[in-house]
Structure 1
Amino acid sequence: MTQPEVSEKTEPEGSGSTGPEVSVIMAVYNAGTYLEDALGSTMQQGLGATQIEVIAVDDGSTDGSADVLDRFASAHPNVRVIHQENSGGPGGPRNTGLDLATGRYVFFLDADDLLAENGLRELVAVADEQGSDVVLGQVHGIDGRSARGATFPATRLHVDLMEDRIFRTLGPWKLFRRELLEQHGMRFRTDVKVAEDQLLVAQAYLTASVISICADRDYYYLRQREDGGNVTRTKRGPVELVDAFTRLTEVVVANTEPGPLRDAVMWRSVTWSLGKPLDARFLQGSERDQQYVVDRIRAVLAPVYTPGAAEHQEPLLRLKTELALAGETDTLRRVIEWQKPRLKPPRLLRLTDDGAAYDLPEDLARQIGPERLPPPPLSAKGMLLGIEVEGDRVLVRGAARIRRAVNPAPQTLLRLRERESRQVIDVAARLRRAEEHKDGVGAEFDLAVETDRLPEGVWDAWIVQRAGESEAVRRFGGARAADVETGQRELTDADGRARGIVYFTKKASNLSIDIGFQLHPDPNAPEEPEEEQAEQAEAEQGETPEGPSAAGTPAEATSADADVRGTAPSDRDREGHRTDAEGDAQTDRRRGGIRGAVRRILGGR
């Protein structure tokens, strides 16, 4: 390859011993109409010309991108353009830019994406204040591009690798302290064409002293190209995908010791990365390719596949992994052949009075062996179709299903749980007819709640679907038919005296029953002062999101709207989840905190 040609060698004004704050590195190959927008966004970062340098490396473009770069550089002295022969991937031009970078921090901007206004200024400010080696800014997908993996619910100025799961985003669109990359000799591998960015980012995570997440606003816009030319959207075969899994696993192993930390960060390898070569794409390869996939998994994963790492996998992927580790290529192939046609629409589970199980052919189930067929997780869906109150009776019509099931659950219940005492009362439903949905088969039901059985308290309603000892639990009422009115409904006893209210909570809009007017004005009592009424209204918003507990039953639920395998949430979930009102307050404090930090660090600049 010929030496790169530098068409603009002007150093950023003021460069010298101090240098710029940040170097933006762009690998450019046939970026088309997106390039000017990407370049323009680098000039809107709230940083002066001496504080930011842009290094754009044209990797042999043939669509005029080189001319766009040269014109932009001629108008901006802090922009450098390097022209080089095509290297076949973004790793090479990124390395060229990294070799030339002089900023204290570097940021890798794809030529078809955008930086949010003032984003780099704020990320640099956080890195300086927190001593961060890597800072992740919230990413937002535009033009149909999904950024789900790079989206975080909260700002975390000091990330915990075991808890915060930042390994779900291994794209390069982050702020890195350049000293960290140089200290460890980090560069993008140019001998691989799939997921080379993941290897550098993973190593940076594992060697960084401090990692921060800024989720108070969007910092980076990930764009879907109209021509489908995004490199990450290219379809790959099972051999390329298992090689990507192999390399990522090797980086994790090389930079961690055996134990809980390695198990925690291995989740990306053994879920997303391993799941791809073991899905339907496995069948696209030849028998030789399929055997190569199995052999690579055995060679790389077997020494580090601990129970802690296996816990990250859903049962079906764990089964396929164990078949590969055992070298049972034929059985693995049969499982994937069974799974493939049942994914669209998903029909994988059969529910009986004996429990929930994968709906495998009997001979395949015997070939696998019962010891390798753990119960599948159950993911619940429920909808309120109608509700009426007759005196002290609440008549409910609804629909419920288990996602991916081929048949309705044998039993459906309405579980009422009192918020303070956690007492649980189950009300059996009558199944009326089966219903086919795109994500599973369920059934409509009706039931009657005799509220004279309920002691005083606030009772939250949950829909429970049961197959044998397996249960799926979900908060009920938030999803409802359009004609269900959400106004309060008064309960009365046999003498016509009011004894409670059926209502929908203010935040999540779920169904609850207030017996004895714990949160609502009692029409039987003298009118209260306005201050006390305001306190009651505020308390009503404090619906606790944790699930209903069956006495003495361990839990596997995650949140009020999460999918649940057990009958109650764990103690950790009960402690970890906040009410809607508390969550809003913490969000406000979090936003004030990150913006306050930016103002403090920039105040003297």
Structure 2
Amino acid sequence: MIQISVIIPMYNVAQFLNKCIASVYQQNLEEDSFEVILVDDQSPDDSKTIAANLIQNHSNARIISHPVNKGLGGARNTGILNASGKYLVFWDADDWFLPGMLAQLFDVAEKYAVDVLEFGAQGIGEKNKIVYTESLSSDKIYNGIDYYKKYRYMDSACNKLYNRSFLLQNGLLFVERLYIEDYEFNTRVFYVAQKVFGIKLIAAQFYQSPDSITRNVDNRRSAKMRDDIAKVMKLVLDFFKKQPNKETKQVSEYFEQRLSYLTATLFFQLFKSRARYIAFENLKSELIKNDIFFINHRIYDLKKELFRNLFLKHFYLFRICRYI
């Protein structure tokens, strides 16, 4: 039985593949118990050639090539639909496993028969400096909404083991060609999930590239990020409105909190870019028009919560703030 499928999208990641793939084969697992699916998303560099050389002696690894670029979400979907493992791990090529961790994660997932298992991770900056550590454990199995209400782990898809049957049975795939696709995907995942568990085991390290989507200051990419956050808000709201239990307090609070966080994030992005006041007014008008201006729910991110209470509740401060 294939226990775990490791899904690795490839797009301009040639320099990272050696370390990433090598880490997958340091997991105390027999090669016939897991598989590695590398998805070439029409990468313009030599990622595909390098990957082919790295896996040539591993019969459990293969490359699937897209005829057209589908983005990170599309590459992950290809992995989901072609995987055989009981559990899935979504890996970015600039991430790596710590030795022996996959076997431990599989044992925990099997013990509790989870839909989703969250595990700890560290962010690694230049010169191998640890820039953050996320590590916590839940005291028992929860459904997704109750777990989310009690525990704040990571919105990333990369610190989780997902039950493949759970995803397929609930039609849980990523939106293609969209930034912050993890947030939208996990919003649906945690709403549906009945068995979520978290462990403090630090199983992975994520390279914090200065050129990443969330840290890049390029105006074009920043504008796409803001556009895609608004798209995700519409998708989340539309999904919420379709749910038969949307009127219950627990469900409405879950979705409103998710939408409030994105609202604050949108304005915070503008604030950091020192946009003119008219940009804040235009954004507010656009969100109100689309029924996605959510500012009345507490946010668990302390920085964004302060920003919400200070600026979004007192909008005139954007006009008088000397930073914009």
Which consecutive residues of structure 1, in runs of 5 or more, have no partner in the other structure?
A: 1-18, 324-331, 343-605
Paired with 2:277 and 2:14, the residues of 1 have a C-alpha distance of 37
The whole-number CA distance in structure 2 between the counterparts of 1:127 and 1:81 is: 27
- The partner residue of 1:61 within 32, 39, 43 is 43
Change (3 A) 1:47 1:232: farther
Larger % of strand: which?
1
**Do the aligned partners of 1:250 and 1:300 also contact (CA within 8 Å) in 2?**
no
- Identify which of 185, 210, 214 aligns with 2:171: 185
Post-superposition shift, 1:298?
Answer: 5.3
> CA contact under 8 A between 1:58 and 1:82: conserved in structure 2?
yes
Closer/same/farther in 2, CA of residues 253 and 118 from structure 1, 3 Å limit: farther
> Which of 84, 88, 110 is the matching residue for 1:102?
84
| Per-residue CA distance 1:113-145 (angstroms, 9 max, x = gap) | 101212221111111111210001101111258
Task: State the partner residue of 2:192.
Answer: 207
Q: 1:180 to 1:306 in 2, by over 3 A?
A: same
Preserved contact between residue 8 and residue 76 of structure 2 (Cα < 8 Å): yes
The alpha-carbon distance between structure 1 residues 96 and 88, as it changes in their structure 2 partners (threshold 3 A), is closer
State the match for 2:259 in structure 1: 269
Change in 2 beyond 3 A, CA 1:338/1:241:
farther
Q: Which residue of the partner structure matches residue 152 of structure 1?
A: 135
Match of residue 291 from structure 2: 300
- More helix, by proportion: 2
Partner of 1:224: 208
Aligned length: 305
Q: Distance in 1 between matches of 2:258 and 2:322?
A: 22
Task: Mark the CA change 1:299 to 1:161 in structure 2 (over 3 Å): closer, same or farther.
Answer: farther
Q: 1:382-401, aligned counterparts within 5 Å?
A: none
Distance 2:130 2:278 in 1: 34
Is 2:276 the partner of 1:281? no
What is the rounded CA distance, in whole Å, between the counterparts of 2:306 and 2:59 in structure 1?
A: 56
Task: Tell me the CA shift for residue 46 of structure 1.
Answer: 1.6
Secondary structure of the residue aligned to 1:278 is helix
* Partners of 2:61 and 2:286 in 1: CA distance: 47
Contact 2:12 2:47 in 1 (8 A): yes
| Pair 106,297 (structure 1): closer, same or farther in 2 beyond 3 Å | farther
How far did 1:77 drift? Answer: 0.3
| Consecutive unaligned residues in structure 2, runs of 5 or more | none
Write the distance in 2 (CA, Å) between the matches of 1:158 and 1:147.
30
8 Å contact from structure 2 (residues 96, 204) kept in 1: yes
CA distance in 2, matches of 1:98, 1:60: 18
- Encode CA deviations 1:52-111: one digit per residue, 9 max, x unaligned: 000001112232211111112321000011122451521111111111101111110101
* Greater C-alpha Rg: 1
Aligned-partner Cα distance in 1 for 2:88–2:204: 15
Picking from 157, 180, 187, the partner of 1:172 is: 157
1:552-597 residue CA offsets vs partner (Å, 9 max, x unmatched): xxxxxxxxxxxxxxxxxxxxxxxxxxxxxxxxxxxxxxxxxxxxxx
CA distance in 1, matches of 2:9, 2:277: 35
Partner letter of residue 161 of structure 2? Answer: L
Compute the TM-score of the two structures, normalised by the length of structure 1.
0.46
Shift of residue 249 of structure 1? 4.5
Work out whether residues 233 and 292 of structure 2, in 8 Å CA contact, stay in contact via their aligned partners in 1.
no
- In structure 1, how many angstroms separate the alpha carbons of the residues matched to 2:229 and 2:100? 37
Cα distance in 1 for residues equivalent to 2:88 and 2:76: 11
Where does 1:382-531 land on structure 2 (aligned, <5 Å)?
A: none
Instruction: Sort the Cα spacing of 1:266 and 1:306 in 2 relative to 1 into closer, same or farther, 3 A.
Output: same
What SS does structure 1 have at the residue aligned with 2:137? coil
The Cα of 1:314 is off from its aligned counterpart by: 3.8
User: 1:518 — aligned with what?
Assistant: none
CA–CA distance in structure 1, aligned partners of residues 10 and 141 of structure 2 = 33
